Amino acid sequence: MAINDHVANLLARLRNAQMSRADQLEVPATGVLQNVVQILKEEGFIKGYRVVTEQNINRLRIALKATPEAGYAIKGMRRMSRPGRRIYVGKDDIPTVKNGFGVAIVSTSKGVMTGEKAKKLSIGGELLCEVW
């Protein structure tokens, strides 16, 4: 089955893995998804990830971060821009997610980065998603 929206697929699989109390999950590997997952790792939402190649198919194996007291590190996520309705933001319009406790992920001309980094570089782009 062809996937039209890889970022929405990633967020749905993350949500489903957390609902089923899984430790890890696999998604098809694309360049954008690797960048998004790298940002999630740097921001502390997941333990880690690695690219697994099986039968010439690259997949991302993502290890979820959870503690017995607080549960999973990802409390919520929202897909902002989608194929049917793209959302572009300027450098001044990049949102702050949950008063700084979350992260906005923006696809810019300099690559995929957090909203805070895009603000520091004074560039806007396509607002992919928000994670908190």
- With bands split at pLDDT 50, 70 and 90, how would you rate the model's confidence at 11? very high
Single pTM value for the model: 0.91
Q: Is the pLDDT of residue 2 over 90?
A: no
Q: pLDDT tens-digit profile of 24-77?
A: 999 999 999 999 999 999 999 999 999 999 999 999 999 999 988 889 999 999
Burial 72-92 (b: 16+ CB within 10 A, else e): bbbeebebbbeeeeeeebebe
**Mean pLDDT to the nearest integer, 96-105:** 95
How far is the C-alpha of 130 from the C-alpha of 49, rounded, in Å? 19
